[in-house]
Amino acid sequence: MKVGINLPSQFPWDSTAQMLEVYEQVGFDSYWSPDHMLGVFHPDLWSETPLSALAADPDAFYDPFCYGAVVGTMTDRPFGISVTDATRRGAADLARTALTLNDLNQGGFILGIGSGEAESLLPFGYPFDTPVGILEDVLRDLRSLLDTGKMADGGVGRMGLPLHAEGRGSPPVWVAGHGPRMLRLTGQYGDGWIPAWWMKPEEYGEKAKVVAEHAQAAGRPAPVNSLLPFVLFSESQDAAAEMFEREPLGKLFGLFAMGHIWESHGLQHPLGNDSKGFVDVIIHDLDADDLRDLADTIPFDMVKEVLFIGNTDELATQFEGYARNGLEHIVLANITGVVGGMDEIMARGMELPMLKNVLSEL
């Protein structure tokens, strides 16, 4: 299995420079950056969160495409976006940017794209009523521009940049598909599949087969099977459970579990049990005092349905199930320190390279 890693994509740059040097020694296969406008922490609660020691503002995200242009000068590994959306960036813009970064970056470029999340759209005046429909239109033209250099409508719109970088080929498009329509679009237009929501390994395998079937129907190769898990290293899951109880604000990650998961735990999601979790939660819209009260009521078992938690052995066991169900290129998003802060980050410093080595053997 190939193993990628999300880079620190926030201000200040020093954290990226330091971590990239470490990650190059570990030998990750790819580097990635999310495309967020707002983060997953309420700004009024940030100072009470251990990770605030590393960054003054939880929403200080760099533009990932500009960020990737700098990262690409520092490594010969591919750089990818995990992921952008089709509402804020049109097909022609995405194609030109992807071709540019694929040509200029030593390791090439991977364009991760999805239908988007409310937190990066609604607060900034973008629509969010038909995100999948917008994505479908963008993917049709994006695929045509990258494959033929021309818009799908056959008009005069075209790309003058080379469609293939020497030794790297065309920039692949990885789609963050989850529901039935998104899985179809992934197979029809994608070179890779990069879901980010937690799911059981068996469900992952079933969806991977659906994607491959759609690709075959479209006359395309089966996309690379990827996964973007949020990983929190700890001495053990039991030790993590104790830390989350001592620092309950970390349990607010449970907000990003879908409403039906809340319902299965006998709870009511603040947005209702039809909430799609990561897709529609804008934590900034919620009252900070209400969130403090809510955090105590969220069970650790529900947090584990959003985050992958444990030591190297425990995490390797979890990910082995996905490997058996077709996972080929995992992209780790390391959020260690959400509970425990810098002490926990330092104590678990060797877990990430150990896990990377184990996963590379799967």
pLDDT at 54: 86
pLDDT value of position 85:
97
- How much is the pLDDT for 116? 96
Task: Identify the structural domains of the chain with CATH numbers, from first to last.
Answer: 2-232+307-360 (3.20.20.30), 233-303 (no CATH)
> What whole-number percentage of the chain has pLDDT above 90?
98
| pLDDT (tens digit per residue) in 304-329 | 999 999 999 999 999 999 999 999 99
Give yes or no for residue 284 having a pLDDT over 90: yes
Check whether 55 has a pLDDT greater than 90. no
Distance separating alpha carbons of residues 355 and 250, to the nearest angstrom:
23
Task: With a cut of 90, say whether residue 53 has pLDDT above it.
Answer: no
Q: Among the listed ranges 52-56, 146-150, 204-208, 290-294, which one has the minimum average pLDDT value? A: 52-56
The stretch 186-198 carries a mean pLDDT of 96
Write down the pLDDT at residue 64: 98
Largest CA distance in the chain: 61
pLDDT, tens only, 208-254:
999 999 999 999 999 999 999 999 999 999 999 999 999 999 999 99
**Mean pLDDT for the chain?**
97
- What's the pTM value of the predicted model, to 2 decimals? 0.97
Residues 189-196: what's their mean pLDDT?
A: 97
Tens digit of pLDDT for each residue in 16-38? 999 999 999 999 999 999 999 99
Per-residue pLDDT, averaged over 102-120, amounts to 97
What's the whole-number mean pLDDT along residues 116-122? Answer: 97
